[in-house]
Chains A and B, each alone.
Chain A
């Protein structure tokens, strides 16, 4: 199901029932090739100037979703609309103008920057893409470097001459060089040191304010996206299981999985850390090739009942654009864990 946009703002990016499947060979002759749905029936939308956080454990499909949104991967089903235009299966040529407007920042700046190119060359590519004339190039590059808090004098350095945090700033500058409207950030600070993380998150925040950018902020860390996002979507095994305005999600999580994720984040506080109930859920996500019946989170869920084993829960709005896909969300009393217990509405 899709979310209604707040009145007055047309969505910049809209995904409807997006799916990304890929084949997995099992190595046996008799078994047919099976498919993994890395992204399974995902709908979301993003308004101009908005930041959507996407959170989940590794293997939940968040990076695959990010790659679909920038069309580095072609969704196998569903619709992807950018400013009203269907780009789900657009070819490379018709994508070109869109490519400039949607940029991506990757987790590992070391791997995503071409190590043989100087910083200036890396940034010039995007500038050329948006038609900056040659005589303005140098000035624009210096401006970009200043914008992301790097020394413009370092324009001729190679990526390896910078620290990790600086390299991520180059990655951000590279994304900005094309003057995008939307930047998809795939774990942009996960590889950075604690004291550097906050700097980069703040930089992203300032850039968004200055340039009216929209972000999709993919992370495995709920604490990092909390401060950066307006809305947050929680993914589990290819599905969005909860989506809500940020404050609401942290104050009143509705999905048991979200609650577990929140409980698992270590708190930098002695008393709170010791007083907290420890591990809430156990185990690891199911094998994506052998999804459990009904709700995918069922095998790890403390609230699971019979209905969870048979009916796959759909995303339902619990008011205030807070959607959750759960038979027993946390705003209902905990179900009695007997067989055949009724499922609350």
Chain B
């Protein structure tokens, strides 16, 4: 087990290294990205530009620039081009909103997906199953921003149930925090509920035909216990690992659209604004931090998987 964890974490570091190089290079080659021009302003003289180049180190070899940038990313001292502010403090400002959104949505989509998936598996072939299948497919094929926009229009604009947009910190007013987040949570969760419930349904149907489920019934266990302890327990294993990855993905950038639609002022929205301004440093930082998070959670999920499924241990 220890060997497995060490190996897995080492892999994560290697992956991060390649991600960092890749992201760094992408922002080197994007058109109109020459940062000195942008930093120096619209009517800069060649002298100013040269000064900026020297000051920011754009004349150094590219690997030195890379090392500098990575160093700054990990010490949290990256400065943005457009507003000359510390990127980290900007991210920290947006983090509560993003985390509230991601964690809440993650819990919602997991719980609902398990319920919907389990119900359709138990009712397989009946009307309720078909209805849920239809709903799931609709959910999967509706883009997140459409769900968000529809929710805003009907539940916030036409009927004033929820506020139109914005984010209220939890510490300021838990009630308002909740009300402001309901629509974003739903918009973000809908797709995942659709996908996960479908996956869970088919995994459960497969597992229901397993010999050990028949054994469990032959032992005289109640139908519900067989379903929960034997069918659901094993069927959740793939779902849990999917969830880990998707959750990390949402924090690492997957929530951008929802944050923008609902004006939550989270990290995602900050990323979106930086893209618009072609402001490279915040993007680099957000992508790197996002990548670290995704890779770390992926490693954690693998470790969790081994814990959930004892069979994996031997092959580890």
Chain A residues with a Cβ under 8 A of chain B = 25, 27-29
Per the bound structure, the CA–CA distance linking A25 and B4 in Å amounts to 11
**Which residues B183-213 have CB closer than 8 A to chain A?**
none
Residue of A nearest to B5 (CB): A29
A25 neighbours in B (Cβ, 8 Å): 315-316
Q: What are 13 A-B contacts defined by CB distance under 8 Å?
A: A25-B315, A25-B316, A27-B1, A27-B3, A27-B4, A27-B313, A27-B314, A27-B316, A28-B2, A28-B3, A29-B2, A29-B3, A29-B6
Per the bound structure, the CA–CA distance linking A29 and B314 in Å amounts to 14
Residue of B nearest to A29 (CB): B3
Closest chain A CB from B68 CB (angstroms): 36
**Which residues B1-57 have CB closer than 8 A to chain A?**
1-4, 6
Q: Which are the 5 A-B pairs with shortest beta-carbon distances?
A: A29-B3, A27-B316, A29-B2, A28-B3, A27-B3
Per the bound structure, the CA–CA distance linking A28 and B316 in Å amounts to 10
A28 neighbours in B (Cβ, 8 Å): 2-3
Per the bound structure, the CA–CA distance linking A27 and B312 in Å amounts to 11
Per the bound structure, the CA–CA distance linking A29 and B313 in Å amounts to 14
**Which residues B287-316 have CB closer than 8 A to chain A?**
313-316
Residue of B nearest to A28 (CB): B3
Known: A25-B315, A27-B1, A29-B2. 10 other contacts (CB 8 A): A25-B316, A27-B3, A27-B4, A27-B313, A27-B314, A27-B316, A28-B2, A28-B3, A29-B3, A29-B6
Chain B residues with a Cβ under 8 A of chain A = 1-4, 6, 313-316
Closest chain A CB from B224 CB (angstroms): 35
At the interface, is chain B mostly helix, strand, loop or mixed?
Answer: helix
Per the bound structure, the CA–CA distance linking A27 and B1 in Å amounts to 6
Per the bound structure, the CA–CA distance linking A247 and B316 in Å amounts to 47
A27 neighbours in B (Cβ, 8 Å): 1, 3-4, 313-314, 316
Per the bound structure, the CA–CA distance linking A251 and B313 in Å amounts to 46
Residue of B nearest to A26 (CB): B3
Per the bound structure, the CA–CA distance linking A28 and B5 in Å amounts to 11
Per the bound structure, the CA–CA distance linking A28 and B2 in Å amounts to 7
Per the bound structure, the CA–CA distance linking A27 and B315 in Å amounts to 8
Residue of B nearest to A25 (CB): B316
Per the bound structure, the CA–CA distance linking A13 and B33 in Å amounts to 69
Per the bound structure, the CA–CA distance linking A126 and B52 in Å amounts to 71
Residue of A nearest to B4 (CB): A27
Residue of A nearest to B313 (CB): A27
Residue of B nearest to A30 (CB): B3
Per the bound structure, the CA–CA distance linking A27 and B6 in Å amounts to 11
A29 neighbours in B (Cβ, 8 Å): 2-3, 6
Most buried by A among B3, B314, B315, B316: B3
Residue of A nearest to B1 (CB): A27
B3 neighbours in A (Cβ, 8 Å): 27-29
Residue of A nearest to B7 (CB): A29
Per the bound structure, the CA–CA distance linking A27 and B316 in Å amounts to 6
Per the bound structure, the CA–CA distance linking A25 and B6 in Å amounts to 15
B1 neighbours in A (Cβ, 8 Å): 27
Most buried by A among B4, B6, B313: B4
Closest chain A CB from B3 CB (angstroms): 4
Residue of B nearest to A24 (CB): B314
Per the bound structure, the CA–CA distance linking A303 and B53 in Å amounts to 88
B2 neighbours in A (Cβ, 8 Å): 28-29
B316 neighbours in A (Cβ, 8 Å): 25, 27
Per the bound structure, the CA–CA distance linking A25 and B312 in Å amounts to 12
Per the bound structure, the CA–CA distance linking A2 and B314 in Å amounts to 37
B314 neighbours in A (Cβ, 8 Å): 27
Closest chain A CB from B312 CB (angstroms): 10
Closest chain B CB from A289 CB (angstroms): 12
Per the bound structure, the CA–CA distance linking A28 and B1 in Å amounts to 7
B4 neighbours in A (Cβ, 8 Å): 27
Per the bound structure, the CA–CA distance linking A209 and B52 in Å amounts to 90
B313 neighbours in A (Cβ, 8 Å): 27
Residue of A nearest to B315 (CB): A25
Per the bound structure, the CA–CA distance linking A150 and B285 in Å amounts to 68
Closest chain A CB from B158 CB (angstroms): 53
B6 neighbours in A (Cβ, 8 Å): 29
Per the bound structure, the CA–CA distance linking A28 and B313 in Å amounts to 11
Per the bound structure, the CA–CA distance linking A28 and B4 in Å amounts to 8
Per the bound structure, the CA–CA distance linking A169 and B314 in Å amounts to 37
Closest chain B CB from A213 CB (angstroms): 38
Per the bound structure, the CA–CA distance linking A27 and B314 in Å amounts to 7
Per the bound structure, the CA–CA distance linking A25 and B1 in Å amounts to 11
Residue of A nearest to B3 (CB): A29
Residue of A nearest to B316 (CB): A27
Closest chain B CB from A178 CB (angstroms): 35
B315 neighbours in A (Cβ, 8 Å): 25
Closest chain B CB from A288 CB (angstroms): 14
Residue of A nearest to B6 (CB): A29
Per the bound structure, the CA–CA distance linking A290 and B116 in Å amounts to 49
Closest chain B CB from A35 CB (angstroms): 16
Closest chain A CB from B44 CB (angstroms): 57
Closest chain A CB from B42 CB (angstroms): 59
Residue of A nearest to B2 (CB): A29
Closest chain B CB from A34 CB (angstroms): 13
Per the bound structure, the CA–CA distance linking A125 and B57 in Å amounts to 64
Closest chain A CB from B91 CB (angstroms): 37
Residue of A nearest to B306 (CB): A27
Per the bound structure, the CA–CA distance linking A171 and B4 in Å amounts to 41
Per the bound structure, the CA–CA distance linking A82 and B313 in Å amounts to 40
Per the bound structure, the CA–CA distance linking A50 and B315 in Å amounts to 40
Closest chain B CB from A3 CB (angstroms): 38
Per the bound structure, the CA–CA distance linking A25 and B2 in Å amounts to 13
Closest chain A CB from B238 CB (angstroms): 22
